[in-house]
Structure 1
Amino acid sequence: MKPIEVDSLVDGQKIGALVIRIVILSLLVQCADGFDLAAMSYAAPELIRSWHFPASELGPVFSAGLVGMAVGGPLFGYIGDHYGRRTAIILSTVVYGLFSLLMAVAPDLQIMLALRFISGVGLGGLLPNTVALNAEFAPRRLRATLIIVMFMGLAVGGILPSVVATTLQHDFGWRAFFVVGGAAPLLLAIVLYFLLPESIKFLLTKKGANAKASELAAQLRPDLGITPETPLTIAASRQGVNAISPALLFADGLGWITVLVWLLFSAALVVNFFVNSWMPTLFRAAGLSSDQTAVTQAAYYVGAIVGGLIISRLIDRWGIVAIAGYFLIGGPVVAAIGIPGLSHYALTGVVFLTGACVLGSQLGMNAVTGMIYPTSIRSKGAGWASGVGRIVSTAGPVLGGWLIARHTPLPQLFLVPLVPLVIGGIGALLLIYLCYRRFRGLRLDETAAKAAGE
């Protein structure tokens, strides 16, 4: 019986129930990431009033979650490559949910900081493994699109705290955000246990898992009549992925590509967390009501949905070119948030465009890591990119807190993100050249890189 190569099996599929189920479940998982930062931002004004501390002291609490994510990305990337994407996703969801729930009963900022760090470790494990799982089930022609559709969960999750703010917060205070943000992932983990499949490619690397791989392959391609006896093969991959070290991310011509991927991740994340962490507090201080602030903050994530959907198709066609465009457009858009005298409607429109550019570029980079790296180090590649980006992004909330403590005027405050956006734009232009050489074109095609022998 002629063996079937998994890449050709996946690329030749018509999108069916199995892939749709994986994308939807992954989207729900990603809601946790979007909810987490936005929930802390919404809880911040009432925490400041309830516990009587300066707003600048929240900077380390915001950053604690980012440091946790930076640890969790590489750690769970290793777990995903060694023990399976499904196992890592479920474990990450449980850790995040449990420690988020405990934040609802935190007695002071120090305990909240510690709990936020641990919940961040769990949260950091979601990105690399959902990227890897979706990349390994998505056909090449739609890979970026499906990964970014999955990451729409970030935007959906970012909108949900505004619902909590306008419904539950009035009765239950700031704790409502962490009860919802903790209980929902724990319930989702149960659903994932029963419904989330493992990657076919990963199963084929493990002894005794071929029957399960054949079952999933048959669901993916019912037209091929696959049975447990049908031999499935995967392209030879470099060994040594069981180490947490990022050394393989710099081998086989990936060195400078990895450096620039980390740079772009860092630039997108530092701007996102700088802007997103402080918008509610700054808008309230500027005179907006709590409901107006909720609507304006939600516009950031609605913009992300629109920007993410657009960039998904652009990446599938033009690769990194789309990322460069988003970075360069994002600079003047973010700066416009600080224009004095904007009406509430105008401010909401500017925040919408900011979400489209800033979170859109972040969503695009999430997809890119799922396409640049080969299967054997895909979770590792996404995990390290996310981890490095999160470490750098801790500077965003802390810098914002320091500038607020110095009473920096709003127009000057929102000029600060121009620096990482310009650096990201330049880095993206360099990455276009390197990826063009590696993939023999603008599209990020792993098969082309293998054929080139790199």
Structure 2
Amino acid sequence: MATTTSDSRFVSTSREETQIVSASKTLEIDHLVDGQKIGPLVLRIVVLSLLVQCADGFDLAAMSYAAPEIIRAWGIKAQAMGPVFNAGLVGMAVGGPLLGYIGDHYGRRVAILISTLVYGLFTLMMVGAHGLQALLLLRFISGVGLGGLLPNTVALNAEYAPRRFRATLIIIMFMGLAVGGILPSVVATSLLGRYGWQAFFFVGGVGPLLLAVALFALLPESIKFLVAKGRNERATRLASRLRPDLAIDHHTTLVMSTSRQGVNSFSPGLLFADGLGALTLLVWVLFSAALIVNFFVNSWMPTLFRANGLSSDQTAITQAAYYLGGICGGLVISRLIDRWGVLPIMVYFLVGGPVVASIGTQGLSHAALTVAVFFTGATVLGSQLGMNAVTGMIYPTSIRSKGAGWASAIGRFASIGGPTIGAWLIAHKTPMPRLFLVPAIPMVIGGIAAAGLLYLCFRRFRGMRLSETRAAATEVAPHSSPRN
């Protein structure tokens, strides 16, 4: 049914290519997407997704800012806020696979809209909370909405981005996490004194609700999802905007490189079918390793630095270096993944082990410590951002949101262990050099797991680059051995 034209013929934008499409009236969707020049439609999707990701960054930082004010206002002990923090993580772990399933079944756009509305509405309702139980419940439900954003924005961007820039655009989208993390400090300096802790949740709720209106008006559905579901009319309208250089009209039929269809199930069973089992397990290990280290380091660095003599200003500068390093490390790894696939992930994890351990070195000057924290952010956050991109590239369209959703869920559940282990070590007065050896262990484990993933992806994609087209033969005939 599909044309058998080579990749290079579809990458060109020549008159010959236009004649081919017009004559055949059949166009393979992967060739169409990979051959595009990035235009207004793709840029709009990336920018809207970046704004969506701001919610994740804002949520994590806003609760940290609001907690001391809630403790003071309600006269409760600090440890009483622990379950409230964990409720958000558990909600995100539930929301990832649940809304990932909705994304694969009903569409990425639908799932992103639902996630944004749920997060915004229930965050806004926290303004009226008058007790820990109400706050915990609202925090859990808003976390469910927040958890659905990652798998569906990853899938949507992966299905519009050309292969040569796919990881780059996905990771640029995730820069919204850093932008969102900065915004609560603005709320704290401008609104906290006048409106109290409720200001964080008012801004955190109204913002996503307004964004949902923009998403409804401007965010398109995934073109690959539409083709997979047989909705050719809507898909061809989007295709003509994506590739105005081709003569695409309502007579053109868009086809997938694979005939595989997803099964409408919340279960992760499809992630272990057709030779994906070992790959999925390694993805889960890598997500868990990155998130455990991120939450360990991010939660306890300020407390430990202050306890070891740094002023509040010095601590703030050093903490900022962690996020700056994450942005730089993410941008670098994005280009490396587009060229070398999983290999940069392995390097980041293996280098990250000794880098994280170096934070605990005795006698470091403030400048040296800041440099160590910068490279920790580059490797830890960089590997996390890289795994977000890779997960959006290794699963086929039919289960892409499901794959990203379950990986995020497993990682979020595991991440609860990061702050918990840190608290136990601090309670036992573990010296800094030994304490920061602990997060180095998951980084080394992640490096080993990444080596295994690199091998599996090399076989599945018949090379270093993560191309869904190359994996199509493996997907259609899962029991046959791939050619070398």
TM-score bin (small chain): over 0.9
| Local SS of the residue matching 1:137 | coil
Partner of 1:150: 173
| Local SS of the residue matching 1:34 | helix
Partner of 1:300: 322
Specify the code of the residue in structure 2 equivalent to 1:301. Answer: Y
Which sits farther off after the overlay, 225-234 or 372-381? 225-234
Deviation at 1:393, TM superposition (A): 1.2
Judge conservation of contact 2:58–2:181 (CA < 8 Å) in 1: yes
Alpha-carbon spacing, 1:281–1:132, altered in 2? closer, same or farther (3 Å): same
Specify the code of the residue in structure 2 equivalent to 1:76. Answer: L
1:268 equivalenced with 2:290 (yes/no): yes
1:229 equivalenced with 2:251 (yes/no): yes
| Local SS of the residue matching 1:33 | helix
* CA shift digits 1:366-411 (9 cap, x unpaired): 0111111011111111111111111111212333334444454544
**Equivalent position to 2:130, from 90, 95, 107:** 107
Alpha-carbon spacing, 1:202–1:358, altered in 2? closer, same or farther (3 Å): same
| Local SS of the residue matching 1:236 | coil
Structure showing greater Rg: 2
Partner of 1:63: 86
Partner of 1:423: 445
RMSD of the alignment, in Å?
Answer: 2.3
| Local SS of the residue matching 1:223 | coil
Alpha-carbon spacing, 1:44–1:329, altered in 2? closer, same or farther (3 Å): farther
Alpha-carbon spacing, 1:394–1:149, altered in 2? closer, same or farther (3 Å): same
1:251 equivalenced with 2:273 (yes/no): yes
Partner of 2:227: 204
Alpha-carbon spacing, 1:294–1:45, altered in 2? closer, same or farther (3 Å): farther
Partner of 1:39: 62
Deviation at 1:413, TM superposition (A): 3.6
Alpha-carbon spacing, 1:35–1:443, altered in 2? closer, same or farther (3 Å): same
Judge conservation of contact 1:303–1:355 (CA < 8 Å) in 2: yes
Judge conservation of contact 2:65–2:188 (CA < 8 Å) in 1: yes
Deviation at 1:119, TM superposition (A): 1.1
Deviation at 1:235, TM superposition (A): 2.7
Partner of 1:336: 358
Tell me the distance in 2 between the aligned counterparts of 1:82 and 1:183. 28
**Equivalent position to 2:53, from 19, 30, 42:** 30
Partner of 1:123: 146
Judge conservation of contact 2:326–2:377 (CA < 8 Å) in 1: yes
Judge conservation of contact 1:75–1:244 (CA < 8 Å) in 2: yes
| Local SS of the residue matching 2:245 | helix
Alpha-carbon spacing, 1:205–1:428, altered in 2? closer, same or farther (3 Å): closer
1:219 equivalenced with 2:249 (yes/no): no
Partner of 1:86: 109
Tell me the distance in 2 between the aligned counterparts of 1:289 and 1:116. 32
Partner of 2:395: 373
Deviation at 1:105, TM superposition (A): 3.6
Tell me the distance in 1 between the aligned counterparts of 2:37 and 2:147. 32
Specify the code of the residue in structure 2 equivalent to 1:15. Answer: I
Judge conservation of contact 1:144–1:312 (CA < 8 Å) in 2: yes
**Equivalent position to 1:398, from 404, 420, 430:** 420
Tell me the distance in 2 between the aligned counterparts of 1:415 and 1:49. 35
1:322 equivalenced with 2:344 (yes/no): yes
Judge conservation of contact 1:307–1:360 (CA < 8 Å) in 2: yes
Tell me the distance in 2 between the aligned counterparts of 1:388 and 1:231. 39
Partner of 2:182: 159
Unaligned runs of 5+ in 1: none
Deviation at 1:261, TM superposition (A): 0.4
Deviation at 1:337, TM superposition (A): 3.3
Deviation at 1:298, TM superposition (A): 3.1
Tell me the distance in 2 between the aligned counterparts of 1:346 and 1:154. 26
| Local SS of the residue matching 1:4 | strand
Partner of 2:206: 183
**Equivalent position to 1:137, from 160, 170, 184:** 160
Deviation at 1:62, TM superposition (A): 2.3
Deviation at 1:349, TM superposition (A): 3.2
Judge conservation of contact 2:46–2:157 (CA < 8 Å) in 1: yes
Which sits farther off after the overlay, 107-116 or 168-177? 168-177
Specify the code of the residue in structure 2 equivalent to 1:186. Answer: L
Deviation at 1:112, TM superposition (A): 2.4
Tell me the distance in 2 between the aligned counterparts of 1:171 and 1:291. 24
Judge conservation of contact 2:228–2:398 (CA < 8 Å) in 1: no
Which sits farther off after the overlay, 268-277 or 255-264? 268-277
* CA shift digits 1:58-88 (9 cap, x unpaired): 4333222111111101100110011100010
Tell me the distance in 2 between the aligned counterparts of 1:81 and 1:332. 39
**Equivalent position to 1:350, from 354, 372, 385:** 372
Alpha-carbon spacing, 1:191–1:284, altered in 2? closer, same or farther (3 Å): farther
Deviation at 1:92, TM superposition (A): 0.3
Tell me the distance in 2 between the aligned counterparts of 1:187 and 1:345. 41
Deviation at 1:285, TM superposition (A): 5.3
Alpha-carbon spacing, 1:110–1:341, altered in 2? closer, same or farther (3 Å): farther
Judge conservation of contact 1:300–1:356 (CA < 8 Å) in 2: yes
**Equivalent position to 2:33, from 10, 14, 23:** 10
Tell me the distance in 1 between the aligned counterparts of 2:87 and 2:27. 47
**Equivalent position to 1:98, from 121, 131, 135:** 121
* CA shift digits 1:249-303 (9 cap, x unpaired): 1111111011000100111111112222334454555565655544443332222
| Local SS of the residue matching 2:259 | coil
Alpha-carbon spacing, 1:47–1:422, altered in 2? closer, same or farther (3 Å): farther
Judge conservation of contact 1:80–1:86 (CA < 8 Å) in 2: yes
Specify the code of the residue in structure 1 equivalent to 2:319. Answer: Q
**TM-score scaled to structure 1, two decimals?**
0.93
Specify the code of the residue in structure 1 equivalent to 2:374. Answer: F
Judge conservation of contact 1:324–1:424 (CA < 8 Å) in 2: yes
Partner of 2:11: none
Deviation at 1:217, TM superposition (A): 0.5
Alpha-carbon spacing, 1:276–1:47, altered in 2? closer, same or farther (3 Å): farther
Partner of 2:191: 168
Tell me the distance in 1 between the aligned counterparts of 2:473 and 2:78. 55
Judge conservation of contact 1:59–1:400 (CA < 8 Å) in 2: no
